[in-house]
Amino acid sequence: MEDTKSRITCNETRVVQTHRILPPDLNDHQTLFGGKLMSYIDDTASISVSRFARTNDIVTASMDELHFIHPVRPGHSVCVETYVTGAGRTSVEVFAKVLGEELLTGERYIAATSFITFVIVGLSKDQTLPHIHSESNEEQMVCGEYQDRRARRLADRSANEKLVKAISILPPWISKEN
């Protein structure tokens, strides 16, 4: 991690993982199980954050958005591409683009998109994260909306804190009368 604000490009944080979809990866609808894809995304995105901050002291804070756009079928491949799109003092946002490919025909499609937020743990007050610099049209569009997404996340976090205070921690088999 840098003590001064340096600049790093989205491309320098880019990570790509590709997987073949096999029968154990499927749900009851014979498409890629969403939880499996979430795991792929989280793993890939965490590497982008480590490249950005040059630390492994990171935790996933939230998967802010995950949009399943097109089902991924057995025999297809799924390519998860991630890169950093913005950072606060200790938080880092990563964009994930998931491409499916029908391997026999070469047809590609957007299978999912996601934004994930990570937190750098143990960052001292005098340490700062680099600035992210977008280059391509896609990166500029995605990074350009970072502040709006960050504001929504902060509002959602406040609402979630209120929800957590209101919900019961009693086991479900114990009834509680109000």
pLDDT in tens, 71-89: 999 999 999 999 999 999 9
Pair of tokens at residue 64: 């802010």
Cα dihedral 160, 165, 171, 176 sign: negative
More confident residue, 3 or 29: 29
Amino acid at site 136: S
Give the mean pLDDT of 136-157: 94
Whats the size of the chain, residue-wise? 178
Residue 67: closest CA among 98, 45, 33: 98
Q: How confident is the model at residue 174 (pLDDT cuts 50, 70, 90)?
A: confident
Q: In the CATH scheme, what is the code of domain 7-166?
A: 3.10.129.10
**Average pLDDT over the chain, rounded to an integer:** 93
d(CA 15, CA 84): 10
Pair of tokens at residue 145: 């909306």
d(CA 52, CA 14): 9
Domain boundaries, the chain: 7-166
User: Which 8-state DSSP code applies to residue 123?
Assistant: -
pTM above 0.85, yes or no: yes
Side by side, the strands of the sheet bearing 107-120 are 15-20, 76-87, 91-102, 107-120, 58-68
d(CA 80, CA 96): 7
Contacts of 148 (CB under 8 A, 6+ apart): none
Q: ∠ CA 66-72-73 to the nearest 5 degrees?
A: 155
